[in-house]
Structure 1
């Protein structure tokens, strides 16, 4: 008997059926933070849910491609996820600018604007509320307010300053869950997902995410559907971000729910 995840839309049900019918040509993608890993106050302390690697180890041999697409550097995601010895996994870091596969890491040179932001952020944040922290990702820098006494107030207080700095340095601002990230423009999770789907000749695509940066991947799935490729949008739900749940075909309860979804897919395809 099938135990595949339950879709609440016809398009999502069609996508799941397409994955079931031709799994060796399917692409299954995931965000990292908030999807495979619980959100924590210190990004450096994030680790994948303990059920993720065993579940992905079951799923990977059954489908064409399993990919993690994250704003983190690819190497950081591999370490935080415990993915180093997970065969059949692709990790696209920095929204697709970096790629890790079979132990090989490909990282481009950062654009000049990143160095300028790195130099100017300390002065801009000199009077920021206590608890505001900067995460240096190499190709991007993220300003986190989660540890401030009033995270949303701190975020809004800094937003115009961060946006002005991004405009001066030619970078883009990526908002997230109590974070504003300054990164090179021209690449997002949707572009990364579409490029990999084309590279692999994917017959169906599923992507699971939780935050605003994942909406670009949802847009990519919508576009692929219009072009004839079935797709499934999965939301790892939270109280902090509701925009994804409103557009998702399948909604699960955070990283534990994502693990359950992976296990159900593996049961159904195995």
Structure 2
């Protein structure tokens, strides 16, 4: 078990209460984390994203001490499992990966993914995107139940992001989808599910008495909102931001800010050391 180290001190009263509750009753705590930018460094090609080298050992050390550990991501669940190397890891038998913002679920115990059929609007959008994106220097990531337009490789990534936001929103709306903006990415996906909905459902399922959520991007804001709502209902929570210069909204709302995935992994190790 890792050696206990000092934990970062939350900067808010609610965050202090959340950390205290987690440490006092770890067996009733839910640890939930985003994948890209939180457990895995952001890379130019999302297919090459891999969890930080120390992420899985840290999660495996922490998981037996708490009620549940979950990864909540916009990626397909199977892709997050593959890129995270989560399958078959001792200590992670109860890990849950909620993909497509909770529409898909992978349980480590069974190794199976449950997923609904993609809505027809995704296929329609997929067919129209090439004509809309020609010459922009962007690339499309096909997520099955969603498509993501990445501007990180464009000559001016931010300008391409801003220029495409309105036409992609119009395209999504015509086919019953929504646009989820992120770090140099615009994702067109079905409405009705987000990380906040997924987080609250899992917290109810396991009877969580405290919740820690760590994220880095705009898609994590609904999960932050869910933690705020749980706090208002009497369930303490701790909001962790995997800090970056690209997104500041989470940093402003977080109880604890750490330095990217490396900082998240260090926090997980520190928690495991304290609880073990």
- The equivalences for 1:211-230 within 5 A come to 211-230=217-236
Q: Is the 1:3–1:267 Cα contact (8 Å) retained in structure 2? A: no
Corresponding residue of 1:114: 122
1:198 aligns with 2:201: no
Corresponding residue of 1:240: 246
Task: Tell me the CA shift for residue 5 of structure 1.
Answer: 3.1
Map Cα deviations across residues 1-50 of structure 1 (whole Å, 9 max, x no partner).
87333211111010011011111110000000000000000000000000
CA RMSD of aligned residues (A): 1.0
- The equivalences for 1:13-162 within 5 A come to 13-86=16-89, 87-101=93-107, 102=109, 103-127=111-135, 129-130=136-137, 132-162=138-168
Corresponding residue of 1:207: 213
1:182 aligns with 2:185: no
Unaligned runs of 5+ in 1: none
Task: Tell me the CA shift for residue 126 of structure 1.
Answer: 2.1
1:258 aligns with 2:261: no
TM-score (norm 2): 0.95
Task: Tell me the CA shift for residue 147 of structure 1.
Answer: 0.7
What is the SS of the residue equivalent to 1:109?
A: coil
1:9 aligns with 2:15: no
Aligned residues: 268
TM-score (norm 1): 0.97
Moved over 6 A (4+): none
Counterparts of 1:204 and 1:198, CA distance in 2: 11
Q: Is the 1:237–1:252 Cα contact (8 Å) retained in structure 2? A: yes
